[in-house]
Amino acid sequence: MGWGSWVAIGDSFTEGLMDGSEAGGFRGWADRLAELMAGRDADFRYANLAIRGKMMTEIIAEQVPLAIAAQPDLVTICAGGNDLIVPGSDADELAAELEQAIVELQRAGSEVLLFAGPDPKVMPMVRRVRAKVAIYNEHLHAIADRHGARIVDLWAMHVLSDERAWSDDRLHFSPEGHRRIALRAAEVLDIPVDEDWREPWPPQERDTSWFKLRQADLQWTRTHLMPWIRRQLRGESMGDGVTPKRPELRPLSDVKARD
| 93 vs 135: CA distance, rounded Å | 11
Q: Give the CATH number, domain containing residue 93.
A: 3.40.50.1110
| 178 in any annotated domain | yes
Instruction: Tell me, rounded to whole angstroms, the distance of Cα 97 from its chain centroid.
Output: 18
| 106 vs 53: CA distance, rounded Å | 25
Amino acid identity for residue 229 in this structure: I
Q: What is the pLDDT of residues 229-257, one digit of tens each?
A: 666 667 766 777 899 999 999 998 764 43
| 179 in any annotated domain | yes
| 163 in any annotated domain | yes
| 36 in any annotated domain | yes
What per-residue confidence (pLDDT) applies to 21? 79
- Quote the domain boundaries for residue 151: 5-197+207-258
| 122 in any annotated domain | yes
- The total of structural domains in the chain comes to 1
> DSSP secondary-structure letter at 99?
H
| 113 in any annotated domain | yes
Q: Yes or no: say if 208 and 20 are a contact pair by the CB < 8 Å rule.
A: no
| 202 in any annotated domain | no
Q: What is the pLDDT of residues 60-93, one digit of tens each?
A: 999 999 999 999 999 999 999 999 988 899 999 9
Residue 258 pLDDT level (bands cut at 50, 70, 90): very low
| 217 in any annotated domain | yes
Average pLDDT (186-196) is 96
Entry pTM: 0.89
Q: Round the average pLDDT of the chain to a whole number and report it.
A: 88
Q: What is the pLDDT of residues 206-232, one digit of tens each?
A: 656 666 556 656 666 666 566 666 666
| 192 vs 82: CA distance, rounded Å | 32
